Amino acid sequence: MDRKWWKESVVYQIYPRSFYDSNGDGIGDLNGITEKLDYLKELGVDVIWLSPVYQSPNDDNGYDISDYRAIMKEFGTMEDYDRMLDEAHKRGIRIVMDLVVNHTSDEHKWFIESRKSKDNPYRDYYIWRPAKDGKEPNNWGSCFSGSAWEYDSTTDMYFLHLFSRKQPDLNWDNPKVRREVYDMMNWWLDKGVDGFRMDVISLISKDQTFPDGEPGINGYASFNEPANGPHVHEYLQEMRREVLDGRETLTVGECSGVTLDEAKKYARSDGKELNMVFQFEHMDVDADGTNKWADKKMDLRDLKKILTKWQKGLDTIAWNSLFWENHDQPRSVSRFGNDGEYREMSAKMLATCLHMMQGTPYIYQGEELGMTNVPFKDISDFRDLDSINAWHELVGQGVFTEDEMMKYLRYKSRDNARTPFQWDDTENAGFTTGSPWIMVNPNYKEINAKDQLEREDSVFRYYQKLIRLRKEHEIIVYGSYDLVLPEDRELYVYTRTLKNEKLLIICNFYGNTRIFALPGGWTKKTSKLLIGNYGDLLYARDNRNTVFIRPYEALVLKSL
């Protein structure tokens, strides 16, 4: 398999608004990130993926960009940005920018022009359609509730917005739009950034006949309906030629609605499009069909099936991104682990299970501390437009009662990941000296970075070890993956193999102790413990290959 630095790296995602506030306005900023680079260096990560820092009216916290070449005022200045980039590079940390080009803000000058008249030079930068039978041009829904079409009386037409109405979709079929995007990407790369995480890049090419899709619980088709559209691969290959060829970049496509076959095209190792994709199938294991607003407990067998499909399916052909969390997902320890008695143990177990797979691991800020979901009490505690709109729509339509919806929001809302990073046990978790833009999780006195840096057995220290192991054992990066025990409901067991080396990974996703016979050929004599969240391995007395697997235990054995 081709060796690549981005396969050997660990990426850390920063959501700048919630990371560290250096000037007391309650909002995280670029100087705050610069101040905390040594913390990331100590953790050992190689790359930062920075959620958007561009100028934005913040309808969707920076994912609605009004100027791609300017910095959001709350976050600082371009000088602050340059200093952060420089300081990161000095520490050997690369910076990957969030590229949000499926849409812009409606306050971007292109859209301000576009909506003025049908013959404005920017008109075709966006997607405009007349009404159909007196209604929206089709039944596509916005990701953030309601129709994906907004009526604009100036020209008596609708524009498409797969996200909020303040995020109109760009028309990628217009070569001028593509040229603008490539020029902007080159501008950032010339500045020294190291790559891009491409926001919903699988949605950029729309079927211009705009067929209806299958309606969901609110009556509209999913925002994912246009995923993997007719020209998406053509455009990404063009982007590769126009921007990325000849540069050492990391590119990862956020590919909602991606199938395995499509992923092989996006991230094929021939390097014509992207380095890797984010797929989201495993994020649906606790959804109710296509409806994410549910609190269904996952069946571990489903999770194993999905991840195994991706591990086996992309092996030697393309490359996986590995993640449990990001700024759009609730906290993994509350979702797939146990955020009570076994919080630390289960956070370490989840980390082991993920970091030992084939692919590039992504850590979302706070995951390395085992930060948890948040006890939001009232709809006024939320800031995320996805959560707020869904509340009004689904409670309003009588799909859920207020109590049900609040339960689902507490479990799934994106704001669970967006509360301030918990630095220490002082007021506001040491995030700000001002008043934070969103509530702080009240558990910051127990869960914070300061405490974890002082403790050898902390989740942070465990992540540090996992990252170090990745640098020491190439099997962790390049080995092939095989699932053991597909039908076990509690244990996730798999192997990695590289030439004559082997790893056995055993993860207990539940609180029961299990007596477990190591699979074929693995014995006490022929293996050693590489890492484990209990620090040791408990063989049944006098036995060569039977072990006790304790609650939420994770073990990595290496063949001798």
Where does this chain bind ligand NOJ (CB under 6 A)?
Answer: 60, 63, 100, 163, 199-200, 254, 327-328
Nearest to 280 by CA among 207, 202, 358, 204: 202
38 assigned to active site: no
Least separation in angstroms between residue 369's CB and ligand NOJ is 22
Neighbours of 141 (CB within 10 A): 23
492 to 137, 295, 341, 370, 495: CA distances (angstroms)? 46, 22, 21, 20, 10
Decide whether 199 or 415 has the Cβ nearer to ligand NOJ: 199
- What DSSP element (H or E) covers 12? strand 11-14
- Across the beta sheet with 501-508, the strand order is 480-484, 491-498, 501-508, 554-559, 527-532
Which of 74, 80, 254, 553 is the catalytic position? 254
Least separation in angstroms between residue 338's CB and ligand NOJ is 27
CB-based closest residue to ligand NOJ: 63
Decide whether 201 or 504 has the Cβ nearer to ligand NOJ: 201
Least separation in angstroms between residue 101's CB and ligand NOJ is 10
Do the Cβ atoms of 376 and 387 come closer than 8 Å? no
| Interatomic CA distance for residues 347 and 351, integer angstroms | 6
| Tokens at 295, concatenated | 């609190």
Least separation in angstroms between residue 153's CB and ligand NOJ is 26
Decide whether 100 or 157 has the Cβ nearer to ligand NOJ: 100
Nearest to 34 by CA among 89, 72, 71, 74: 89
Least separation in angstroms between residue 490's CB and ligand NOJ is 32
Decide whether 60 or 286 has the Cβ nearer to ligand NOJ: 60
Decide whether 263 or 503 has the Cβ nearer to ligand NOJ: 263
- What DSSP element (H or E) covers 113? helix 109-114
Q: For 152, left (φ over 0), alpha (ψ -120 to 50), or beta?
A: beta
295 assigned to active site: no
| Interatomic CA distance for residues 431 and 449, integer angstroms | 11
Decide whether 57 or 313 has the Cβ nearer to ligand NOJ: 57
Which of 199, 225, 325, 339 is the catalytic position? 199
Least separation in angstroms between residue 6's CB and ligand NOJ is 20
Do the Cβ atoms of 75 and 34 come closer than 8 Å? no
Looking at the annotation, which residues are catalytic? 199, 254
